[in-house]
Amino acid sequence: MFDRAAETMARNELETLQLARLKQTITRAYANVPPFRRKLDAAGVKPEDVRTLADIARFPFTVKGELRDNFPFGLFAVPRENLLRLHASSGTTGKPTVVGYTRADLDLWSDLMARSIACMGGKPGDIFHNAYGYGLFTGGLGFHYGAERLGLTTVPVSGGGTERQVMLIKDFGAHLLGATPSYALNIAEVATAMGVDLRKLPLRYGCFGAEPWSEAMRRQLEEKFAIKAMDIYGLSEIIGPGVASECHQAQNGLHIWEDHFLCEVIDPDTAEPLPLGEAGELVLTTLTKEALPMLRYRTRDITRLIEEPCACGRTHRRMLRVTGRSDDMLIVRGVNVYPSQIEAVLVGFPGLAPHYQLVLTREGPMDVVTIEVELAPPAPREEPFAGKMATDLRSHIKAMVGLSCDVVLKAPGEIPRSQGKAVRVKDLRRQVTPQ
Ligand code: DLL
């Protein structure tokens, strides 16, 4: 819910609160988490060294690998018996990253999700169709408890069973949809095939996040559902969804809930702090989390912070749409590019459907990107139509993102559909070809 006192706090008050909470967090973590204490000792800093917010720059970062090294419970600042919930994100290799919540943490998370959903346009009494996956992923349960806290009629559908999702959205008359943007697109496509006109339903807002998406994708979703498509950001290591969200008034940048999270942006290569407004890697410190305090967590997400006043009246800084993760950046013939930059060109391109995958292969020492993208139905693939379209697209991508790539046009339905986080990149570079 809208917490006017917290969300419109003057900058100096907010910073005073942040400093007090930062001191508490570091003091508690130092006392209760042995690996944390060893790290600070090795860096030659003590909790008492935090005198101003700027002092945080002297403290060491935390990286994802440390959660794995201390698997499963080594970074918790409370006895395991005090945890009410565990979540985990599945790594592609090895052990998952485990996160835990005390009762106070779950309460805070529900409050911040209620705040985020209200910020995105939800109102008590609305019907919330929750198509985020329920389970170890933080999306489903994070939205669930936040929606209930705000007083929404919550429909816990989870991901999958897309035809049933369409029926439920229609029959219950959902006002808000929660899903990854790629799964929302899948729902829209299935609705069209079922003859359901989503535009005629009571839906008003989509709460989309958990993966990078582009403005072009926002336009598609807004068009197909006749809604405002809102961006919500978060990550399990910090709390889950509910770290930042767009406001429906401005729909331009996501307010970071700075009374609970301290944000910095650093150069991903040198780890040096960047001035406000420059693009770089987002670094987050939790200010109120009990079970798993995080100090200067390197998110790998690339964004930019803005401090201009917002039309909605909130004073919390905004982060711009995440363009991608620094580890998802492709370097092709010396050109650095994020998949979402390619998405911005593909989606909405005349004659194409918004379904694509980037396939990476290697030719000798060179990386090669092949864009596989579907034609919009009806899809004439005969020459010269298809050949001209592929050539147009190639030159457009070269002009817009500077990347030379191959384009393969696919028939409608050929690209796998997402039920959660979409797999945008198929990396075949490390596969051994049989002799
Ligand atoms: O994806 C939490 C979440 C659930 C956020 C539902 C929003 C909605 P993880 O599975 O730990 O947590 O993945 C976190 O997903 O570091 C980003 O790379 C990416 N991500 C999350 N939200 C956005 C977004 C959840 N709005 C990782 N835009 C993060 C771009 C996002 N990327």
Task: List pLDDT tens digits, range 389-434.
Answer: 999 999 999 999 999 999 999 999 999 999 999 999 999 987 655 5
- Break the chain into its structural domains and give their ranges: 1-326, 330-427
Ligand 1: residue whose CA is nearest its atom 15: 210
pLDDT digits (tens, 9 = 90+) for 239-269: 999 999 999 999 999 999 999 999 999 999 9
Phi, psi of 316 (to 5 degrees): -70, 135
Please, how many CA atoms are within 13 Å of residue 157, restricted to the half-sphere of its CB? 29
Lowest mean pLDDT: which of 139-153, 352-366, 381-395?
381-395
Judge whether residue 174 has pLDDT over 70: yes
Kindly give the distance from the C-alpha atom of residue 423 to the centroid of ligand 1, in angstroms, as a whole number.
14
Q: Tens digit of pLDDT for each residue in 11-25?
A: 999 999 999 999 999
Which position has the higher pLDDT, 296 or 2?
A: 296
- HSE-up (13 A, CA, CB side) for residue 201: 27
State the helix-helix crossing angle for 181-193 and 162-172, rounded to 10 degrees.
80
**Residue 91 pLDDT > 80, yes or no?**
no
Residues with CB under 6 A from ligand 1: 89, 132, 137-139, 209-212, 231-236, 240-241, 299, 301, 322, 325
Instruction: Write down the CATH number for the domain with range 1-326.
Output: 3.40.50.12780
* pLDDT for residue 206: 98
pLDDT of residue 2: 87
Model pLDDT for residues 96-132, shown as the tens digit of each residue: 999 999 999 999 999 999 999 999 999 999 999 999 9
What's the gap in Å between 381 CA and the centre of ligand 1? 36
How far is the centre of ligand 1, averaged over its atoms, from the C-alpha of 217 (Å)? 16
Per-residue model confidence (pLDDT) at position 430? 74
pLDDT band at 341 (very low <50, low <70, confident <90, very high): very high
Distance (angstroms) between ligand 1 centre and the Cα of 350 equals 29
Give the helix ranges, DSSP H, for 173-310: 181-193, 215-225
DSSP-based three-state secondary structure for 148: helix
**Per-residue pLDDT at 203 exceeds 60:** yes
Mutate to test the pocket of ligand 1, among 255, 322, 323, 326 (most ligand atoms within 8 A of CB): 322
Q: Cα–Cα distance between 5 and 79 in angstroms, integer?
A: 33
pLDDT at 93 over 80: no
Class of domain 330-427: alpha beta
> Above 80 in pLDDT, residue 154?
yes
Q: Please give the number of the atom of ligand 1 that sits closest to the Cα of 300.
A: 16
**pLDDT value for 379:** 67
Question: What would the two tokens of residue 344 be?
Answer: 């911005």
